[in-house]
Amino acid sequence: MSTPHIEALDGQIAKTVLMPGDPLRAKFIADNFLENVVKFNNVRNVFGYTGTYKGKTISVMASGMGMPSIGIYSYELYKFYDVENIIRIGSCGAYDAELKLYDVLLADAAWSESSYALTQNGEKASTLYPSKDLNEKLMVIAKDLDIPVTSGTIHSSDVFYRENFAQFSDIRDQHGCIAVEMESFALFHNANILGKNAACLLTVSDNLVTAEVTSATERQNAFTKMMDIALGMAE
């Protein structure tokens, strides 16, 4: 059965889905890391694939950018395709000068000024949490792979281009956020309301304090540490 945004047939999507923002990153993962790949979604070029990693099954599908977009895709995957676990694998801007480009972060909370949860079901909390169980598993995999991971609260923002750029330091200081991205709050909310599991792994693509940045090409190809950890969730 298809949904308005996903044309996969029943059974084509694995219990665990990795979600990069960018459809080309989903394709990159399928092309370079998975075997026995079946493409299950082409709608709007938001590509989705199921394949095997070291003999175990996993899916990867793009979320698009921002909370309205990941809100649609994660809801449909959880509710209509029986997906149990969604692990966002995205990029973020670091709010801390000590975080270096390509460092891997794991969200242990998402703070947001977004109205996504309030609009969706009246949820008033501005901090939402990922699955403890998924986070613990991801940390074990990272340790086994010898990849350092920093966990902390992530600012999940609705706005990339703020008129008052310096505002980020107030958000950082008031809410204890170590980095900013634009999707995890909506993903965590959907997992909570539907009784499912979500986690968010991030790679630092820019640092708002030091103004270091990666190029778009580097961003598409160089996030392999994060992908290695997330792919370890195949089952």
Active site residues: 206
Q: Is the dihedral of CA 62, 34, 138, 176 positive or negative?
A: negative
- Name the residue nearer to ligand HPA (CB basis): 16 or 205: 205
Candidates 86, 180, 186, 230; binder of ligand HPA (CB under 6 A) is: 180
Please name the helix (run of DSSP H) or strand (run of DSSP E) that holds residue 73, with its range, or none: helix 67-80
Q: Is 190 in the site for ligand HPA (CB under 6 A)?
A: no
Question: What is the number of the residue whose Cβ is closest to ligand HPA?
Answer: 93
DSSP label of 213: B
Instruction: Classify 59 as helix, strand or coil.
Output: strand
Candidates 85, 91, 135, 197; binder of ligand HPA (CB under 6 A) is: 91
Write down how long the chain is.
235
Candidates 20, 23, 71, 93; binder of ligand HPA (CB under 6 A) is: 93
- Name the residue nearer to ligand HPA (CB basis): 83 or 230: 230
| Least spacing, CB of residue 171 vs ligand HPA, in Å | 11
Q: Is 63 in the site for ligand HPA (CB under 6 A)?
A: no
| Least spacing, CB of residue 235 vs ligand HPA, in Å | 29
Asked if 75 and 40 count as a contact pair (C-beta separation under 8 A), the reply is: no
| Least spacing, CB of residue 37 vs ligand HPA, in Å | 27
Task: Tell me the per-residue interface mask from 143 to 162 with ligand HPA, x by CB under 6 A, - otherwise.
Answer: --------------x--x--
**Contact partners, residue 233, CB within 8 Å, separation at least 6:** 16, 18, 58, 85, 87, 134, 137, 138, 141
Q: Is 183 in the site for ligand HPA (CB under 6 A)?
A: no
| Stretch of 56-64, 134-142, 176-184, 220-228 lying at the interface with ligand HPA (CB under 6 A) | 176-184
Q: Is 112 in the site for ligand HPA (CB under 6 A)?
A: no
* Interaxial angle between packed helices 224-231 and 132-144, expressed in degrees from 0 to 180 and rounded to the nearest 10: 120
- Name the residue nearer to ligand HPA (CB basis): 131 or 157: 157
Q: What is the dihedral of CA 179, 5, 129, 161, to 10 degrees?
A: 30
Instruction: Classify 49 as helix, strand or coil.
Output: strand
